[in-house]
Amino acid sequence: MGGIEFEGFSNGVIYADLDNDGDLEIVTNNIDDYASVFENKSSEINNYLMVSFKGGEKANAFGLGARVYITTANKTQMQELTLTRGGFESSVAPILHFGLGKQRDIEVLKVVWPDGKIQQLKNLKANQELVLSYADAIVEVKNNIETDSYQKIFSKASESPFPKHKHVENNFDDFEHQVLMPHKMSAFGPALAVGDLNEDGLDDYFIGGSHKNSGAMYFQNKEGVFEQQSIKALLEDKSYEDISALIFDADKDNDNDLYIVSGGYEFATQPKLLQDRLYINDGAGNFIRAKPEVLPEFLVSGSKVYNADFDKDGKDDLLVLGRQIPGKYPMPVSSYVLKNVGEKGSPKFNLFEESYSKVFENIGMATSAVITDFNSDSWPDVILVGEWMPIKIYKNIKTGFEDVSETMGGLSKDTTGWWWSIEAGDFDNDGDMDYILGNNGLNYKYKATENETFDIFVNDFDNNHKTDIVLSYFNKGKQYPVRGRSCSSQQIPGIKSKFKNYETFSQATLVDVYTEKALESSLHYSVKSFASVYLENKNDHFVTHQLPIDAQVSSINKIIVKDFDKDTHLDALLVGNLYVSEVETPRNDASHGLLLKGNGQGEFKAMSANQSGFFVTGDSKDMQSIAVKNETYILIVKNNDSLDVVKVR
């Protein structure tokens, strides 16, 4: 913009029409200097409209939160009145300014007040200031009818039967060990599992703990009230990090046991704390940890666990996903298939023979899977996703698993993403399983397209015997490092010598900084899309469709598939967010939960919180449905936050 020139340091800025000519001047607050005022001459060549408000109450006299829509011949503009757009500790005037260019006539002006009341004006002239009064607003009958006629499916329980529970994340600085990671890897709990834990026919639940904070088990009584249990074995194992949990009958004695996946990033020097654990139920809700020989030793930081009878021998086997190697992001790790070889009352799991397990060796950073029969042959198959991973499809060929990812409708390495979740359902009612997959979303700082990918390179770039991480992005066809000179030089100090100042580093491409030879020899992952998707199954051939834009606002960490509105078509309930981004990237926090209403033809309509009643904030990591006295609730657990409960009508 011409005319704005100032050499100095500014820590505040506002805009305001100081000379009442219909355009906005800019004022900056300068450190150890006079303020700067930049006069705007735009009103000499362009038209405008100014809108101010007269609120209906003293608490909101300026009408903060009011939205104004104006329609001219060629477009509609919208602004919402807020005073904090001007910068650090700065406030603008409580007036909305619309630039109209050469348009002199406004066809329609509509103001929507914060409580939903509206006012509408037509055929207005430009170049004036309007004062809109709350007293002239009315209830918009059309919107009121639409809202009231849709019966909300979810509601916050006014008197919840669930005790207050808060997950407390232990303090650990991941970036001290790998400064250029895109996000922390130590804060992906807590675990959540629902099932009957004391053989009384009622749903109970378990919430995992973080390092040095034990998990908690809650039993439901006949009055529908939950009470926390004192489980000695859990208290003794509070040094572990509980990332995922599964309630199932591990020893075939007709009561449910508890399997807990150990994870976290903290344990590079304490690998024994990465061992998973199995807690055996005596039938009355008393749990003891199974002996070490019951589970094979695999010291990998995990993410999820699933049970299924993969070999059809009548016993539930396990699929345990490997998430990371602490201190070595993003190196690939193995996932594991555990064969149930125990007898009644004597649990025992071994690593499955090579035909079942080999395809999961060093597959990547797995985050979620679904046990499914995608080809309708009655044998359980696996679809698996992860961070920096393509969608992986494993067919059960009755003697083992076969990787059929690249023969299933183009689901090749081009599907690499930051996948967080996957669930199955016959969404188009054609008799086979389709899938919803939660990616990082399209609203994050990191972007990726077919031609301009988002990449990571891992190598010992400065030959100091330590692996270095480089994230990259494209701008106008050229590839650049994501992180700036300051952070990049914390990892590789030689960058400061190579690029003497910030200006030269800002102009350097990825190759300029790290050399083509080093990049070519690196471990390299490339993402072409962060969109969450619906996979349509067409005779074992998958077609990818992006989910509605409302589902792309943040990462999707958990999906529940169910016919929530009882119209005979499957819907999908989503929660997510990622609060632990690195310092230069705003956190992924735009998700408030979402209901995707299915129409039975593989299409989804996003239902707003106002329509569905489902509104969940926070860093949601898991959710499960639970039954209480003929009522259904949804439990949502969040990292370093309190348990959230939503009731289903």
What would the pLDDT profile of 292-317 be if each residue is shown by its tens digit? 999 999 999 999 999 999 999 999 99
Cβ partners under 8 Å of residue 489, min gap 6: 495, 496
Q: Is the pLDDT of residue 149 over 50?
A: no
Given 511, 527, 543, the domain boundary residue is 527
Q: Which pLDDT score, from 0 to 100, does residue 409 have?
A: 64
Q: Which pLDDT score, from 0 to 100, does residue 540 have?
A: 79
Question: Residue 523 burial (CB < 10 Å; 0-12/13-18/19+)?
Answer: middle
Look at residue 552 and tell me if it is in a domain: no
Overall number of domains in the chain: 2
Number of other residues whose CB lies within 10 A of the CB of residue 374: 25
Q: Which pLDDT score, from 0 to 100, does residue 545 have?
A: 97
Look at residue 32 and tell me if it is in a domain: yes
110 within 8 A of 98, measured Cβ to Cβ: no
Average pLDDT over residues 588-593: 97
488 within 8 A of 481, measured Cβ to Cβ: yes
Look at residue 81 and tell me if it is in a domain: yes
CA distance 475 to 126: 39
pTM: 0.85
**Would you place residue 143 in the very low, low, confident or very high pLDDT band (cuts 50, 70, 90)?**
very low
For residue 570, what are its two tokens?
């499957």
**Residue 69: its H or E element:** strand 67-71
The residue segments making up the domain with residue 39 are: 10-139
The residue that leads in pLDDT, 150 or 463, is 463
Question: Residue 3 burial (CB < 10 Å; 0-12/13-18/19+)?
Answer: exposed
Residue 560: strand pairing partners: 573
Given 487, 505, 527, the domain boundary residue is 527
Average pLDDT over residues 89-100: 90
Look at residue 498 and tell me if it is in a domain: yes
Look at residue 477 and tell me if it is in a domain: yes
Least confident of 25-39, 286-300, 386-400: 25-39
Q: In whole numbers, what is the pLDDT of the chain averaged over residues? A: 94
Helix (H, G, I), strand (E, B) or coil at 412: coil
Q: Which pLDDT score, from 0 to 100, does residue 144 have?
A: 43
CATH number of the domain within which 72 lies: 2.60.40.10
Q: Which pLDDT score, from 0 to 100, does residue 408 have?
A: 79
Q: Is the pLDDT of residue 57 over 90?
A: no
* Phi–psi pair at 196, nearest 5 degrees: -85, 110
Helix (H, G, I), strand (E, B) or coil at 549: helix
Look at residue 293 and tell me if it is in a domain: no
| Angle, CA 482 vertex, CA 546 and CA 365 arms, to 5° | 55
Look at residue 88 and tell me if it is in a domain: yes
The residue that leads in pLDDT, 140 or 582, is 582
Look at residue 130 and tell me if it is in a domain: yes
Given 469, 499, 527, the domain boundary residue is 527
